[in-house]
Amino acid sequence: DTEVTQTPKHLVMGMTNKKSLKCEQHMGHRAMYWYKQKAKKPPELMFVYSYEKLSINESVPSRFSPECPNSSLLNLHLHALQPEDSALYLCASSQGDLHQETQYFGPGTRLLVL
């Protein structure tokens, strides 16, 4: 089973709201990722957690706050977002962070910021 699940599937929020995106995998993977994807563009890496520690932050604004409560779960906390943050947010996981290891993606959360 190579399934990564994400909730919610869709999210609409105002610029003053606080919301969270959730990602879960039960493959025993130790690396987890958040990506942002705008329409007709490739995914852009935001954060990487390796063995539950934040290993990469691609200079993401602080209104996005990742959290990895355990090796199966990854959250992305959202606060005071801007309309330009509207996008598809994808979670992915891989066995580790070696180059030959495949990243498996979830279906994404489609976020609209009003």
Partner 1 sequence: GNSVTQMEGPVTLSEEAFLTINCTYTATGYPSLFWYVQYPGEGLQLLLKATKADDKGSNKGFEATYRKETTSFHLEKGSVQVSDSAVYFCALRLYTGANSKLTFGKGITLSVRP
Residue 112 makes contact with partner 1 by CB under 8 A: no
Residue 66 makes contact with partner 1 by CB under 8 A: no
Residue 71 makes contact with partner 1 by CB under 8 A: no
* Smallest distance from partner 1 to CB 40, Å: 8
Buried b (16+ CB within 10 A) or exposed e, 59-83: ebeeebebebeebeebbbebeebee
Among 16, 28, 42, 59, binds partner 1 (CB under 8 A): 42
Helices (H), 25-68: none
Cβ neighbours, 10 Å, residue 39: 7
Separation between Cα atoms, residue 90 and residue 44, nearest integer Å: 9
Among 17, 20, 27, 50, binds partner 1 (CB under 8 A): 50
Contact positions vs partner 1 (CB under 8 A): 4, 6, 40-43, 45, 48, 50, 55-56, 88, 90, 92, 97-108
